[in-house]
Amino acid sequence: MLVLTRKVQDAIRIDDDIRIVIVRCEKDKVRIAIDAPDEVLILREELWLRQQDFVEATVDEKPGFAFDGQ
């Protein structure tokens, strides 16, 4: 994991096509803007985890189907 210190309006790049900008910092919150191609799925972690739980529950309901994560 990479840990960075940034100021408001500073940016972080991931590859050539993803840019993350620090928009605002308040007491215990940071607002960021993410610019990425449409095909890149961007989710808050709690939504991603909920989605993973749903996928696992759906797979568990189908007898004879095994999902190995690949």
The reported pLDDT for the residue numbered 59 is 75
Q: Is the dihedral of CA 42, 46, 52, 54 positive or negative?
A: negative
User: pTM higher than 0.75 for the full model?
Assistant: no
Walk along the chain (70 residues) in steps of 10 and give the mean pLDDT of each run: 96 97 95 97 94 83 59
CA–CA separation, 20 vs 22, rounded Å? 7
